[in-house]
Structure 1
Amino acid sequence: MYFTFITIPIYSLFPSFAKDAEEFKKLLEGYPEAVRKAIGLNVDSIASILGFYSYAFLYITLCGAIQAMNLGVSIFSKEVREKTADFLLTKPVSRTQILSSKLLAALTSLVMTNVVYLAAANMMASQVKTEDYSSKIFFLISITLFFVQLIFLALGMIMSVIVRKIKSILTVSLSTVFALFIIGMLSSTAEDEALRYLSPFKYFDTDYIIKNSGYETSFLIVGIGIIVASIVASYFIYAKKDIHAV
């Protein structure tokens, strides 16, 4: 939840940025187009609050993905690493109940994070805006943080039940998230639609959301499919998995 406070220093830069918008645009146009695409920088809209927010939001999503991946990977791997799994499974509860409780706890954490983030983002946007903007589009962009987090939570969850023993949750989480983030950057640089499907960071294109006030259906379906398939597979594997006693 700590990353929600990133919005405060980010938004504090917008008034001065908007004031000297033309100078900043000229400066940004000096960057190679491939670099601008890779880091999600749209020169034409960067001076508007939604354009500025879209650029900063990419890195807020990166932080959120790390949080979600950490939660997902730790759902099962932590008790295996600390050798407490056999103790837990001797209790009069089923494996389905155990996994459901862990998943619900992780979801509660993500929901709380997003509620705080939305409140902070809306408050800062209303304070620094220099012109009216669409609150609907602002919300559509902001809520994609939760969608992306759900995907990474599900990926972390399936990873935690498949891999026999994960020594470092943070190492696995960071390497997975950054690898998919880099793939997303490459897909933007190459303008490869097929490559976008490999990176959840590119499932919700902010430029598309601003122009169309909605999401791309194909990527939304793929995202939901990943979440459902990963969670269902996690339950199935966990129910059949051999868990060794200490």
Structure 2
Amino acid sequence: MPELPVYAWVLLGVAALIVGFSKTALPGVNTVSIAIFAALMPAKQSTGVLLVLLIVGDIFAVWTYRRHANWAALLRLAPAVVGGLLLGVLFLALADDSSVRRVIGVILLLVVAVTVWRRWISQGSGSVAGSRLASVGYGSLGGFTTMVANAGGPVMSMYFLAARFPVKEFLGTAAWFFAMVNVAKLPLSVGLGLVTWESLVLDLVLIPGVIAGAFFGRWVASRVPQRVFEVGVLVVTVLGAGWLLV
């Protein structure tokens, strides 16, 4: 167990709550958890601890929204996501923490801009989810960002938002997507030394917070209007990108 002051344990507990909440209510807000973990722990250690907590959150998200996934969209994304994950492994082996954060921040801001343009300004009537180019672009970026910093949530949120998914279909598709991707990342992270026995002990302490956040998020998601949900996704994505650039 790491020797941390009381305030640090409190913040880690809050971050665990946010992980669970993001999985069942507002994907993208998990960037706040990434910031807290990165500020309180060494970068590699924080990534490994957070990955296991994300998988716990994925279990509750899949259980909650298991019947609402858009499997056609997930299948279109799969090849590009695999490529992005492998590219992320290579990037992690070569880049420093500062470079990783700034690259992802720039990517997120570009993704937000493109998504808003396609969703509200473009006159085209076709769904982004049905575009091969969009599937390759978002899928590869999602795989890359989730591998290097557990920050794939905002990228994929933009894809699902641009696809005009209703709230529950959005959350169900995101739940299955990240459940499969995070499990696939686990052996890669172990091989890179990101997940260790020490990090797993810390995870055991923080998992109750993830569970509490997941149940609270489930309650919120059943009551939030579609428009409020979409604006919330955009806002937390922009804020997360801004933090990564600072």
TM-score normalized by the length of structure 1: 0.32
Greater helix proportion: 2
Q: Tell which has more relative contact order, 1 or 2 (C-alpha 8 A, sep 6+).
A: 2
Which is greater in Rg?
A: 1
User: Under a length normalisation based on structure 2, what TM-score does the superposition of the two structures give?
Assistant: 0.32
